[in-house]
Amino acid sequence: MNLLESARFALTGVAANKMRSILTTLGILIGIAAVIILLAVGAGTSNNIKAQIGKLGTNVLTVSRSTSVGGRATGGQSGASRTRSTNLTVDDEQALTDPVLAPDVARTAPIVQAQGVTATYTSATHSVASFLGTTPSYFDISNSTVAAGALFTDADQQSASPVAVIGNTVATDLFGAATGSAVGQSIQLNGQNFTVAGVLAVKGSSGLNDPDDIVVVPLSAAQNKFTGYAPTLASITVQAVSADVMNQAQNEVQMILDARHHVDSTNRDYQVRNQAQILTTATNTTQTLTILLGAVAAISLLVGGIGVMNIMLVTVTERTREIGIRKAIGASRGSIVAQFLIESLIISVIGGVAGIVIGFAGSAFPVLGVQPEVQSWTVWLSLAVSAIIGLVFGVYPANKAAKLRPIDALRYE
């Protein structure tokens, strides 16, 4: 009795009770599909966060005032009122662009922020999520390009021109779908007139915050009209020459600022955040999430496996007589085990394959704004796991069948 024969007998066994086989298969199907979809959602979330951080620039350092030293954190607007001499200044920012002391720093941009800025155009208003005053180098660092109009220039910065570059979300809210029509229009930002110089290309909303809900004006204009002339900055954005020299760039930035602020590593009044570190933290968080999701899915798979065992036990009881007949005509214990084991294997592998198909189909739709990404290894793993479930949960029923004594089995009604 070879395996092929056992497989043929097993197939007729599965086909004999189609409805029951389908329902049992469903248990495995749901488990496998859940594993694939949930892991795909985890991977999608993780990639989404990576992409979002990538949009900010993977070779970007952010220098900000430390909140642990030097008093409470401040909103951008109140920066002018601070009296501490060690706040970040435009001079600090310019000192970082030093080809000798900081060869790994490509460019820097000073940033001031204002909270609660409302943009108005005729009767339309929009509450701006992110209002920045900076220099044109910010656009290079943040990989920003315009969809319409132009970015503001160094000349605008020097003359403190009231020009603004607005994000797509702002433009849509104020000017409707034809965002290009915003260029050259005059808008009010907290009642102050600004001319729209350009509309930024869409970066794409992802999850919690919207990178397109932004208004960028020249640093000088922001200080002029919002934050006052005090030289304090909210942060300095530093771009390293490449992603490989992030740590060198960070050390150089710290060395220059330590000297200027007369501090050392123990009492720094500023902090340098590395995008790579943020990325690592975010990745760890999503990994934990993915493991949790996977565990939930694995439990449903286990339940499916128990379902297979249950049905196989019913099948063995139901076919006791057949087992007796087969043993009487010469089936060995091994061939009975093989027949029932293959039968449970067929049920779970069919469930597994169908689950993979459903998993792919289910992963095609975005979940909570995240596009799930099916990991190819989860497909192979699912296939292997469904086969293992078939074997493990089939062993007991198959053995039970094989151990039946032919005279008892033949007498069974």
Applying CB under 8 A, does 332 fall inside the site for another protein? yes
Applying CB under 8 A, does 343 fall inside the site for another protein? no
CB-based contact 126:214 (threshold 8 Å): no
CA distance 362 to 372: 9
Shortest distance, CB of residue 329 to another protein, whole angstroms? 4
Task: Please give the structure tokens belonging to residue 73.
Answer: 């954190």
Task: Please give the structure tokens belonging to residue 338.
Answer: 């093989």
- # binding residues, another protein (CB under 8 A): 24
Applying CB under 8 A, does 400 fall inside the site for another protein? no
- Which string of DSSP letters, residue by residue, matches 191-237? TEEEEEEEEEPP---BTTB-TTSEEEEEHHHHIIIII-S--B-SEEE
CA distance 317 to 312: 9
CB closer to another protein, 8 vs 262:
8
Among 326, 346, 350, 372, binds another protein (CB under 8 A): 326
* All residues at 6 or more sequence positions from 117 whose CB lies less than 8 Å from its CB, including other chains: 127, 128, 131, 189, 190, 215, 226
Helix (H) or strand (E) holding 163: strand 163-166
Pair type for strands 214-218 and 186-189: unpaired
Shortest distance, CB of residue 392 to another protein, whole angstroms? 25
Applying CB under 8 A, does 186 fall inside the site for another protein? no
Pair type for strands 163-166 and 192-200: parallel
Write each residue from 1 to 30 as x if it is in contact with another protein (CB under 8 A), else as -, in one continuous string.
xx--x---x--x---x--------------
Applying CB under 8 A, does 261 fall inside the site for another protein? no
Shortest distance, CB of residue 4 to another protein, whole angstroms? 9
If we measure between CA atoms, which residue out of 269, 349, 345 comes closest to residue 9? Answer: 345
CB closer to another protein, 20 vs 82:
20
CB closer to another protein, 261 vs 327:
327
Applying CB under 8 A, does 314 fall inside the site for another protein? no
CB closer to another protein, 244 vs 408:
408
Task: Please give the structure tokens belonging to residue 80.
Answer: 């002018």
Applying CB under 8 A, does 335 fall inside the site for another protein? yes
Applying CB under 8 A, does 368 fall inside the site for another protein? no
Q: Which stretch binds another protein (CB under 8 A): 94-102, 128-136, 332-340, 345-353?
A: 332-340
Among 101, 321, 383, 388, binds another protein (CB under 8 A): 321
Shortest distance, CB of residue 19 to another protein, whole angstroms? 15
Structure-token match 């019913």, residue found: 314
Residues that bind another protein (CB under 8 A): 1-2, 5, 9, 12, 16, 321-322, 324-335, 405-407, 410
